[in-house]
């Protein structure tokens, strides 16, 4: 992986990047884009989290990238295997919007719940969340540059923002 | 799959008639497609996850719950507003309150006619919630329709119907994503042995 490489993370998916590569996910609504970054080794990972907890999973196969409680441990494992030090990792995240305002019911408050669940997991693994851009009622595309650790957020209404 | 395609045919056929009445010109529709798609691929149907679309979203409640989206691209939306309100809509992404409210009402009428014909045909009780409109990235909007499927797997079943106005393609699209537990009821209501 070199400077300028773009690694895409799909919905309910996760991946890692290094060597200046950029890791990106598009069209986050209620989903959360969580990144972990080791600023010394310049290794980073991103998960596109769709739901707060794997407790509600049905069916045979569990996609660990989909749930906040399983995506974070998996991302952490992968980064450790690449040499990242858990103590150095810092987290940034964006998303968790409520695109449609009128809805009652739990499934429609999924954005805030995804954010809460992700923060709980970060707490549990003692990873500090150094920046976030969550909530609101709009979609976001996010990318993390492993060269700089800069997390860029793009939205239709507000243009480009870096955290 | 044929049965579900028929579901799209019945619903959208009626909605096309309603749209045609609103615009006072003929509106056709393409044969509905029914497919089990990975979440990512659903947004690809409307130009990709980052494509900006106008979407009216509502929940279907009753015997066969699900999510419904009426998705319209910016250019056809402008033509429809022009036809309906008699003046040109905004040039950019900014829509006035009046335009947004008109689009929301169009979505409401179309979704209502889609559902009422489907309810008549199946004998199932299906009612729409109040619709909500968003102008945003397709991925961010459509992911709301996949949450119910999200607990089961990484695919959702989509009944996709495209409206055509004369030769102009893809004026609007109806996405019906029935909740996983609704299939049995739809099949049974349509007389398909399980």
For the entire predicted model, the pTM comes to 0.86
Asked if residue B4 has pLDDT above 80, the reply is no
A83 contacts A122 by C-beta, under 8 angstroms: no
B136 class by beta-carbon count within 10 Å (0-12 exposed, 13-18 middle, 19+ buried)? buried
B139 and A139 in contact by Cβ < 8 A?
Answer: yes
Q: How far is A116 from chain B (nearest CA, A)?
A: 17
Could you tell me the CA-to-CA distances from B12 to A19, A80, A128, B110 in Å, in that order? 50, 52, 50, 8
Told to judge if A13 belongs to the known catalytic residues of this protein, a careful annotator would answer no
User: What distance lies between CA A7 and its chain's CA centroid?
Assistant: 14
B136 and A138 in contact by Cβ < 8 A?
Answer: yes
Query: Taking all residues of chain A, what is their mean pLDDT, rounded to a whole number?
Result: 90
pLDDT in tens, B54-68: 888 988 888 888 888
Annotate B9-47 with DSSP letters as a single string.
HHHHHHHHHHHHHHHTS--EEPPPEEEEEEHHHHHHTTT
Domains of chain A: 6-162 (3.30.1330.200)
In chain A, which residues have their Cβ closer than 8 Å to the Cβ of B152? Answer: 57-59
Burial B42-66 (b: 16+ CB within 10 A, else e): bbebbeebbbbbbbbbbbbeebbbb
**Which of A13, A24, A26, A53 to substitute to test the interface with B, most B CBs within 10 Å?**
A26
The neighbour count for residue A156, using CB atoms within 10 Å, is 17
Q: Which of A52-56, A141-145, B104-108, B144-148 has the highest mean pLDDT?
A: A141-145
Of A26, A66, A108, the CB nearest to B49: A26
| Spans of chain A below 50 pLDDT | none
User: What average pLDDT does the segment B126-154 reach?
Assistant: 85
Residue B114 is encoded by which pair of tokens?
């889609």
pLDDT in tens, A7-16: 999 989 999 9
A30 and B147 in contact by Cβ < 8 A?
Answer: yes
Asked if residue B10 has pLDDT above 90, the reply is no
Residue B194 is encoded by which pair of tokens?
């399980």
B163 contacts B16 by C-beta, under 8 angstroms: yes
Q: Which residue has the tokens 């870096």?
A: A162
Residue B33 is encoded by which pair of tokens?
């497609």
Q: What ipTM was reported for this prediction?
A: 0.85
The neighbour count for residue B26, using CB atoms within 10 Å, is 12
Of B57, B137, B151, the CB nearest to A100: B57
In chain B, which residues have their Cβ closer than 8 Å to the Cβ of A139? Answer: 136-137, 139-141
């Amino acid at each position: 992986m070199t400077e300028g490489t773009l690694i895409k993370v799909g919905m309910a998916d996760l991946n890692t990047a290094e060597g200046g590569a950029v890791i990106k996910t598009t069209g986050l609504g209620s989903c959360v884009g969580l990144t972990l970054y080791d600023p010394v080794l310049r290794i980073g990972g991103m998960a596109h989290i769709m739901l707060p907890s794997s407790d509600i999973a049905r069916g045979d196969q569990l996609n660990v990238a989909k749930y906040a409680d399983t995506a974070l441990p998996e991302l952490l494992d992968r980064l450790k295997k690449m040499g990242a030090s858990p103590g150095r990792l810092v987290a940034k995240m964006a998303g968790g919007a409520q695109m449609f305002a009128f809805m009652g019911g739990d499934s429609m408050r999924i954005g805030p719940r995804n954010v809460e669940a992700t923060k709980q997991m970060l707490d549990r693994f003692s990873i500090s969340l150094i920046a976030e851009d969550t909530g609101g009622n709009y979609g976001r595309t996010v990318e993390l540059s492993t060269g700089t650790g800069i997390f860029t957020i793009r939205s239709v209404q507000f243009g480009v923002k870096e955290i | 799959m044929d049965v579900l395609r028929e579901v799209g045919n019945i619903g959208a056929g009626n909605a096309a008639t309603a749209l045609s009445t609103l615009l006072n010109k003929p509106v056709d529709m393409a044969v509905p497609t029914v497919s089990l798609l990975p979440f990512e691929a659903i947004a690809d149907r409307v130009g990709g996850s980052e494509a900006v679309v106008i979407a009216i979203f509502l929940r279907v409640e009753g015997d066969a719950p699900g999510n419904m989206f009426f998705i319209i691209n910016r250019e056809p939306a402008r033509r429809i507003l022009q036809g309906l309100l008699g003046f040109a809509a905004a040039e950019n992404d900014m829509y006035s309150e009046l335009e947004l409210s008109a689009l929301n009402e169009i979505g409401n009428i179309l979704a209502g006619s889609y559902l009422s014909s489907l309810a008549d045909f199946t004998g199932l009780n299906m009612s729409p919630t109040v619709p909500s409109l968003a102008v945003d990235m397709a991925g961010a909007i459509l992911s709301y329709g996949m949450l119910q499927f999200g607990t089961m797997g990484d695919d959702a079943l989509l009944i996709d119907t495209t409206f055509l106005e004369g030769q102009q393609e893809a004026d609007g699209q109806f996405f019906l994503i029935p909740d996983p537990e609704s299939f049995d009821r739809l099949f049974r209501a349509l007389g398909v042995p399980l």
